[in-house]
Amino acid sequence: MKKNIVAVYPGTFDPITAGHVDVIRRAAKIFDEVIIAVNGNSLKNKKPILPLQVRVKLIRGIVKNISKNIQVDIFRGLLVDYLKKKKVNVIVRGLRAISDFEYEFQMALMNRKLAPNVETVFLMPSEEYTYLSSSLVKEIVGLGGKMKDLLDRNVEKTLKKFLKIKK
């Protein structure tokens, strides 16, 4: 009997970038179902520019054309509690560079400590996105730069609106 393998790709996605989308495409080919879990927590170290519902709407607009096995959801609290609620034991994380590794490795081990049945799968984006981050995108757009091929046009337009950038 074939087992239906579901994975959760968590993040703040503030904003979702072409790198995120690349990881989502890869995950959708590997797993039977992928849940993009948008972090709805108020975090000390991350102050999203885009409101939660705006991020969710933007992500849904992008993934609807990728695959039917992708859904978008919101989670609050600990990720492992969300995984338990959804009965999922696989986390997908993007790994761009060595600089990501230490943090992601630490998070994977803590998640395993909190929920021993949870496995973290790291996916590398295409080489063209290895330097791309939401923080960098916000800085470039905030300074009037163009994000052609690195950010969905609707995402860029929405980000400009929230950053109050004139055309």
The active-site residue out of 2, 3, 29, 46 is 46
pTM recorded for the entire structure: 0.93
CB 132 within 8 A of CB 19: yes
pLDDT in tens, 118-145: 999 999 989 898 888 898 999 999 898 8
For domain 6-130, give the CATH superfamily. HUPs (3.40.50.620)
Residue 134 a catalytic site member: yes
H or E element: which one contains 102? Answer: helix 98-114
Residue 3 a catalytic site member: no
Tell me the helix, strand and coil percentages in the chain, rounded to 5: 45, 15, 40
Question: 10 Å Cβ neighbour count for 87?
Answer: 7
The active-site residue out of 29, 60, 64, 96 is 96
What confidence tier does 94 reach under pLDDT thresholds 50, 70, 90? very high
For 116, 132, 137, 161, the CA distances from 151, given in Å and listed in that order, are 36, 10, 8, 15
The active-site residue out of 20, 55, 93, 138 is 20
